Amino acid sequence: MTPVNVPGVEFPFPGKTLVIPPMALGDLEQLLDRINNVMSGRMDKDSIATVIDATHAALRRNYPGMERAEVASLLDLQNMRAALDAVMSASGMEAQPVNETGEALAPSTGANSTRT
């Protein structure tokens, strides 16, 4: 494997494993609203472009010569969500569970209290 400049998450793309580093803050600033739409479960042409753009933005930190088209060819319907989760995880952000309307679920406050 090629040495990387920025540590991150190893991700098994078809035919090769690459290290996905955290996104640079400038890239995250530009993509955050779009990423949040994808993470809420929205699936359309812009969502696909967002997954490609976010993955490319992260990967180019370790693989500067990698073109967007190459990243697009590494992603498919089976791995696109996992790849975006890896990008977010490497960036220190965790995917939050959402309900059927795309709203983030409230975190658990502990065990339910029931009368016996």
Give the model confidence (pLDDT) of 81-111 as tens digits: 999 999 998 888 765 444 444 444 444 455 5
Report how far residue 82's alpha carbon sits from residue 63's, in angstroms, rounded to the nearest whole number. Answer: 20
- The pTM (predicted TM-score) of the whole model is 0.77
Report how far residue 70's alpha carbon sits from residue 50's, in angstroms, rounded to the nearest whole number. Answer: 15
Contact status, residue 31 vs residue 53, Cβ threshold 8 Å: yes
pLDDT above 70 as % of the chain: 78
Helix (H) or strand (E) holding 13, with range, is strand 9-13
* pLDDT tens, position by position, 27-41: 999 999 999 989 888
